[in-house]
Amino acid sequence: KTKKSKASQAASTAAAPETPKLDKGELKAAIVRHLHCTLGTDENKANNHAWWKATCAAIQELVLEGLRKTQKSHYFNDTRAVHYFSAEFLMGRLLSNNMHNLNLFETANDALTELGISLTDVLEEEPDMALGNGGLGRLAACFIDSLATMEMPAIGYGIHYEHGLFRQEIKNGAQIERPDSWRDYGNPWEICRPESIQEVSLYGYVETKYGDNGRIQKEWHPGSIVKGVPWDIPVVGYGGKTVNVLRLWQSQSSGYFNWDVFNAGGYVDAQVENVQAETISKVLYPNDETEAGKELRLIQQYFFCACSLKDIIRRYKRAHGDDWSRFTDQVVIQLNDTHPAIAIPELMRILVDRAELDWDKAWQICTKTFAYTNHTLLPEALEKWPARMLEKILPRHLEIIYEINHRFMAEVEKKWPGDNAIKSKLSIIEESSEKMVRMGNLSVIGSFRVNGVAEIHSMLVKKNLFPEFDQLWPEKLTNVTNGITPRRWLKACNPALSALIDKKIGDQWPLNLSQLTELAVYADNKTFQKQFMKVKQDNKVALAQTIKELTGLTVNTDAIFDIQIKRLHEYKRQHLNLLHILALYRRLLENPSYDMHPRVFIFGAKAAPGYTLAKDIIFAINKVAEKINNDPRVNTKLQVVFLPNYRVSLAEKMIPAADVSEQISTAGKEASGTGNMKLALNGAVTVGTLDGANIEIAEEVGDDNIFIFGLTVDEVAELKRKGYSPDDYYYKNAEIKAILDWLETDYFTPGKPGALASVKHSLLSGGDPYLCLADFDSYSAAQEQVDAAYRDKTRWAKMAIMNTAMMGKFTSDRSIKDYVDRVWNLTACIVEN
């Protein structure tokens, strides 16, 4: 049944990393020099934080040399480039990554060791750069890594948030949010570029004028102007040749609109305006896949798009002057979801109002510039802005959106004469009691290509979300399956497995991940199985140490490490996992000799601060964990861990230690998933639904090496059509009933009955929108198969090896190659060393 994909043969254009640019002695000297001259300390006084900064500074010297060469090369070749617009870049830590990509990791390790310093400890000093929520932001980070590795001219554009995603603490089982302050003690990677500051207008009104030629001209008189200050983060490709940049905009008061207030003695009021301007880039909105509809969020989006477009146009004009005819040869802009969709009317405004191009010419340029990636079908995540809000903040943009829509409606009328139902569905404007602007429709209409992020998701985008757009423009909608960078997600995070792989198949797999298939011939080899599982065991021991440090709990490292790590969402069904844990607990209490291999269930998840049920599920997991872990009747077989503050750097410690990967979303709801790829790449076996990229993972690894359960997309639709009633399962399935009723007692929250009741009630009578109860039995049966498979050590080792061996398709290099070939039409620019 296993189907091999053509895509898995993607090869990188980049060459192997060369010998390091520095030897150990030179690196030592550079680190010590920075300790002295950059940090003003010395070897005796320096703490790990100072050593970290000095090491970063030493590495940054080489990074910046690569950056200069890259920029020179791109400039002289006048390259076409992709501009990746994203409100989120979830970069994690950069030092280890940059050292690996420069092939300096070993050298640095040796250099620091000779200085009496532990590189591992130094790396731990770096705060995560958490300028994103989850999958979408981390995808952007993997993509810019691959773009640099494949030597593609590319720039990431985003927001320089002062506070990234909140830090999660767990107090008495509940999530508490604390501010993230990633730059508090300075960030050694970012470079401020005051010479490239841009100004952005907001508010005000539009004046209609008649130009000399009798043409109607529109002029936007803004009510305020803010400055955008660019901070560049170098993005080092593997091999270290191309160094691209991630350019993040920080908002700053321009002062311009303060002068009247100021002169009128309003010194204090002027300061208030400064604060308002600086608020724009203060904080990342912590909602993943829910739109809060906040004015500040819209301003954030416009702010970074407007800055970025000005930056792009400035660079274009430097080479091509006022001749717009080559713009679309040089510039392609990828919209990471609809968050930057306001860039479409902004480019139209620049072309029509400022450059004075005809509407049609401008629209032609626009629709050759933008491409849009859709990341979800969930209705609550599809962005809509009140027309009134847009009118207030961006009056001219609303007019332009109406004009785009007016012309588009004429096209719709041609294709479906007289069909008003289709018109109201495709219109950018939703004519509800409060008029809304649909950013998804605007993005499809304003782009030349629209992609989903896994085969099934893209199919559903075509069939369910945008079917009429697909009929109107049959070439526009396409798929690009997501990927992950194997540099961070195998080479750097799992050095022991990487060394073992190097020994077997050589060290080129980070650039050509499909080479991992060469491991498949060793899947039955006893010696290799032993080596592979020894690495896994050591990684589990290391994670157990981290668990001990973070929670105080000692876990059994002979147990199955069963991991679910992702944002907390009902559709991801962490509560289905919890129900199964409760089932095992009951079975063990009822039958102390219940036959199961010991298992440690490990969770990591942040809930959006306003998402009550998600927080209730975190609370329930923690309360159940507390009870089980302290129950001597079961805790030799069953343990539950919730690791606080899940983030990129914690993922890097958890993923290498996973035996089982939980990918249990309701079919049709998880667009792709990328954690699924990271876990499988590190030899975890997936328990998963036929959803998102799980389907493609199953195709690659084969049915014997994955545990698939649950309703399919079609079966979900059928059940919903017939009318799903969770109560049927509750009354017919004694185990389900017992578990849910248990949650309502005070068993897990002594003296506080009902403290976990919201989880139960969310799953009953008109609830359970994501069909946990419908999938429970199938999930439980799959878990029994996992248990049986794990107990057959040879079988499990083979499965684990096959998972690593067959993940080649999911390198983000392949995703980028797909974008390059089918969307961006880019060519690599070789940067000489």
Find out whether 372 and 443 touch, Cβ atoms under 8 Å.
yes
Residue, CB closest to ligand Z57: 135
Instruction: Catalytic residue, from 572, 606, 623, 798: name it.
Output: 572
Q: Which is nearer to ligand Z57, 7 or 671 (CB)?
A: 671
Instruction: Catalytic residue, from 566, 569, 623, 637: name it.
Output: 566
Q: Which is nearer to ligand Z57, 136 or 805 (CB)?
A: 136
Site map for ligand Z57, 279-298, x if CB under 6 A? Answer: ---------xx---------
Residue 88 beta carbon to ligand Z57: minimum distance, rounded to whole angstroms: 8
| Interatomic CA distance for residues 826 and 512, integer angstroms | 20
Q: Which is nearer to ligand Z57, 311 or 570 (CB)?
A: 570
The CB density around residue 10, as the number of other CB atoms within 10 Å, is 22
Find out whether 480 and 457 touch, Cβ atoms under 8 Å.
no
Maximum separation of any 2 CA atoms in the chain, in Å: 91
Which of 127-135, 462-470, 553-561, 701-709 is the region at the interface with ligand Z57 (rule: CB under 6 A)? 127-135
Closest CA to 823 of 348, 308, 147: 147
| Interatomic CA distance for residues 149 and 12, integer angstroms | 8
Residue 682 beta carbon to ligand Z57: minimum distance, rounded to whole angstroms: 17
Which of 39-47, 344-352, 431-439, 669-677 is the region at the interface with ligand Z57 (rule: CB under 6 A)? 669-677
Residue 171 beta carbon to ligand Z57: minimum distance, rounded to whole angstroms: 26
**Which residues, other chains included, contact 234 with Cβ-Cβ below 8 Å and sequence gap of 6+?**
60, 63, 64, 66, 67, 98, 189, 191, 243, 244, 245, 246
Residue 133 beta carbon to ligand Z57: minimum distance, rounded to whole angstroms: 6
Find out whether 85 and 14 touch, Cβ atoms under 8 Å.
no
- Residues in 438-457 at the binding interface with ligand Z57, rule: CB under 6 A: 453
- Residues in 402-431 at the binding interface with ligand Z57, rule: CB under 6 A: none
User: Pairing mode, if any, of strands 660-663 and 685-688?
Assistant: parallel
Residue 128 beta carbon to ligand Z57: minimum distance, rounded to whole angstroms: 16
To the query of whether residue 575 is one of the catalytic residues in this protein, the response is no
Binding ligand Z57 by CB under 6 A: which of 134, 164, 446, 486? 134
To the query of whether residue 247 is one of the catalytic residues in this protein, the response is no
User: Is residue 607 at the binding interface for ligand Z57, with CB under 6 A as the rule?
Assistant: no
Residue 693 beta carbon to ligand Z57: minimum distance, rounded to whole angstroms: 7
By the 10 Å C-beta count (0-12 exposed, 13-18 middle, 19+ buried), 44 is classed as exposed
3-state secondary structure 523-570: CCCHHHHHHHHHHHHHHHHHHHHHHHHHHCCCCCCCCEEEEEECCCCH
User: Is residue 668 at the binding interface for ligand Z57, with CB under 6 A as the rule?
Assistant: no
622-654 exposure pattern, b = at least 16 Cβ within 10 A, e = fewer = bbbbbbbbeeeebbebbbbbbbbbbbbbbbbbb
Instruction: Catalytic residue, from 569, 573, 678, 809: name it.
Output: 678
Q: Which is nearer to ligand Z57, 436 or 582 (CB)?
A: 436
Binding ligand Z57 by CB under 6 A: which of 692, 710, 726, 808? 692
Q: From its phi and psi, is residue 702 left (phi > 0), alpha (psi between -120 and 50) or beta?
A: left
| Interatomic CA distance for residues 130 and 649, integer angstroms | 10
Joined together, the tokens standing for residue 496 give 């022991």
Q: Which residue in the block uniquely carries the two structure tokens 């359970």? A: 768
| Interatomic CA distance for residues 476 and 60, integer angstroms | 41
User: Is residue 312 at the binding interface for ligand Z57, with CB under 6 A as the rule?
Assistant: no
To the query of whether residue 572 is one of the catalytic residues in this protein, the response is yes
| Interatomic CA distance for residues 575 and 617, integer angstroms | 7
User: Is residue 139 at the binding interface for ligand Z57, with CB under 6 A as the rule?
Assistant: yes
Cα 495 off chain centre by: 23
Query: Cα separations (Å) of 734 from 392, 729, 745?
Result: 57, 9, 17
List phi, psi (to 5°) of 720. Answer: -65, -35
Q: Which is nearer to ligand Z57, 51 or 810 (CB)?
A: 810
What's the DSSP call for residue 5?
Answer: P
Instruction: Catalytic residue, from 375, 491, 809, 817: name it.
Output: 375
- Residues in 524-583 at the binding interface with ligand Z57, rule: CB under 6 A: none
Find out whether 616 and 759 touch, Cβ atoms under 8 Å.
yes
Radius of gyration of the chain measured on its C-alpha atoms: 27
To the query of whether residue 375 is one of the catalytic residues in this protein, the response is yes
Site map for ligand Z57, 313-342, x if CB under 6 A? Answer: ------------------------x-----
| Interatomic CA distance for residues 319 and 830, integer angstroms | 20
Residue 670 beta carbon to ligand Z57: minimum distance, rounded to whole angstroms: 5
Q: Which is nearer to ligand Z57, 398 or 442 (CB)?
A: 442
| Interatomic CA distance for residues 389 and 403, integer angstroms | 18
Residue 829 beta carbon to ligand Z57: minimum distance, rounded to whole angstroms: 27
List phi, psi (to 5°) of 393. Answer: -85, -40
Q: Which is nearer to ligand Z57, 439 or 543 (CB)?
A: 439
**Which residues, other chains included, contact 318 with Cβ-Cβ below 8 Å and sequence gap of 6+?**
none
Which of 530-538, 543-551, 665-673, 811-819 is the region at the interface with ligand Z57 (rule: CB under 6 A)? 665-673
Q: Which is nearer to ligand Z57, 254 or 334 (CB)?
A: 334
Binding ligand Z57 by CB under 6 A: which of 126, 273, 346, 670? 670
Binding ligand Z57 by CB under 6 A: which of 12, 55, 672, 803? 672
Query: Cα separations (Å) of 208 from 218, 285, 353?
Result: 5, 36, 11
Q: Which is nearer to ligand Z57, 135 or 158 (CB)?
A: 135
Tell me, by CB under 6 A, how many residues bind ligand Z57: 19
Binding ligand Z57 by CB under 6 A: which of 148, 152, 280, 381? 381
Q: Which is nearer to ligand Z57, 675 or 683 (CB)?
A: 675
| Interatomic CA distance for residues 85 and 265, integer angstroms | 41
Residue 623 beta carbon to ligand Z57: minimum distance, rounded to whole angstroms: 27
User: Is residue 375 at the binding interface for ligand Z57, with CB under 6 A as the rule?
Assistant: yes
Residue 376 beta carbon to ligand Z57: minimum distance, rounded to whole angstroms: 3
Binding ligand Z57 by CB under 6 A: which of 27, 130, 136, 309? 136
To the query of whether residue 503 is one of the catalytic residues in this protein, the response is no
Q: Which is nearer to ligand Z57, 55 or 672 (CB)?
A: 672
Residue 284 beta carbon to ligand Z57: minimum distance, rounded to whole angstroms: 12
To the query of whether residue 540 is one of the catalytic residues in this protein, the response is no
Which sequence positions are flagged as catalytic?
A: 375, 566-567, 572, 674, 678
**Binding residues for ligand Z57, per CB under 6 A?**
133-136, 139, 288-289, 337, 375-376, 381, 453, 482, 670-674, 692
